Every structure is written in structure tokens, then in C-alpha cells.
Amino acid sequence: MDGRYLGDIRRADRYIHRGFPTVRRDREVTAPGVSQTNTTDYSEDSNTRSAFLAGAALSGLAILLGIVFVVTAMMADKQPSMRRIASLSGIFAFVLALLGTLYVMAALPGAVNADSGGGGLGLSQFSGFWGSDSTTFFGITATVTWSAGWAWYVVLIGAVVFLIGGILVMRAAKTAPAAPSTMQAPPESRPMP
């Protein structure tokens, strides 16, 4: 292997990581004696990139509201007015995170089809968020599978956590003011002779 080949890999790696780091696709094709990996940041697939970026923006806003939720929930015992802010920010974080995951789930198949002019590689159109398809060229079968990545599931789980937290903060017993002490002072003892 000569240095020119390694230089091309390094340049390609720098190009890939200049884009939005969470919007990336790795595609690997293997056949007897052949293995090829293709990584992209969707810079040439504008519809797919837009679907991912919209989902990431909604998820980012949910995270910011989640931070507001945690901070105000910690202050709710000392300042009861913070309880409402904490509850609302937790519930709104849930809504935004859920919208982000559902938007990507609904928009991505159509965006991929629009960018690839169908399924690409002679495959049928992508019909859902999860699936697989195969095609054969000259005796070589290429199979493409697609599904949600780990980040999609993390955002979905985070949405549920925000909802549960928002409801629990709202339902938490309000701290009662300290009642005056009803305890009597001990009787005075007489000095000993």
C-alpha cells in the first residue's frame, strides 16, 4: 500500500467530519473478495439531511428544556413557584422530544426516496422507518437494511423520562410551613440545698 492511498483516506475522513456530526451514514458492501465502506454526512442528500436536522433541532430544544426542568425541580422545595415551571418545562421537553422522534420516523422514508430517486441500487422504494430489501446483479446479491439508530431510542426514552418527571414534580406534596412548636418547656427545678 503506498502513501498516496493513505493520504486519500485521511482527506476523506476530514471531509466527512466537517459536516454535522450526528447526521452521518455508514454503508458497507461485502462480497467474496470485496469489501467497501461508504460514509457520508448527507451533504448531497438535501431532503434526508433536512429531515435529520429538523429532528436534531427538536431534540436539542427538548434537551435545553430538560436542563431547565432539572434545575427548577431542584429549587422547587425552597421556592414553591418553581414547581410549576419545572413541571411545565418537563412536559414541554417531553412534547418536543416526542415530536423530534416522530418527525424523523415519518419524514425519513420519503426524504430518502426523494434523494435517491426511489430505493437506489435497483431496490424498491423505502416504505417505512424499519425494513430491508435485496437486489441481485450478475449473481451478487446486495441487501440493504434500515432502522432507527441508538440515538433515536435514547431521545424516545428521554421523552418518557421528561414526562414522568414533569408529572411527579407537579404532583409532589407541597412543603408545609413549619408549625409552631407545641412542646412545653421542662419544669424548672429547684436548686438543691
**86 occurs within a structural domain:** yes
89 and 96 Cβ atoms separated by less than 8 Å: no
140 and 65 Cβ atoms separated by less than 8 Å: no
187 vs 159, higher pLDDT: 159
CA–chain centroid gap for 84, Å, is 25
**36 occurs within a structural domain:** no
Q: What is the dihedral of CA 187, 190, 192, 193, to 10 degrees?
A: -170
Using 50, 70 and 90 to split pLDDT, how confident is the model at 134? confident
Q: DSSP string covering 43-72, please?
A: TT-HHHHHHHHHHHHHHHHHHHHHHHHHHH
| Number of domains, the chain | 1
* Mean of all residue pLDDT scores within the chain: 75
pLDDT of 148 reads: 79
pLDDT of 14 reads: 33
**115 occurs within a structural domain:** yes
* 179-188 mean pLDDT: 67
* 58-84 mean pLDDT: 90
pLDDT of 31 reads: 62
**15 occurs within a structural domain:** no
pLDDT of 132 above 70:
yes
**30 occurs within a structural domain:** no
**50 occurs within a structural domain:** yes
- The model's pLDDT over 22-52, given as tens digits with 9 standing for 90+, comes to 455 555 666 666 666 666 667 777 888 898 8
Mean pLDDT lowest among 51-60, 61-70, 73-82:
73-82
* Domain boundaries, position 152: 45-171
For the whole model, what pTM was predicted? Answer: 0.66
69 and 165 Cβ atoms separated by less than 8 Å: yes
**22 occurs within a structural domain:** no
pLDDT of 125 above 60:
yes
**145 occurs within a structural domain:** yes
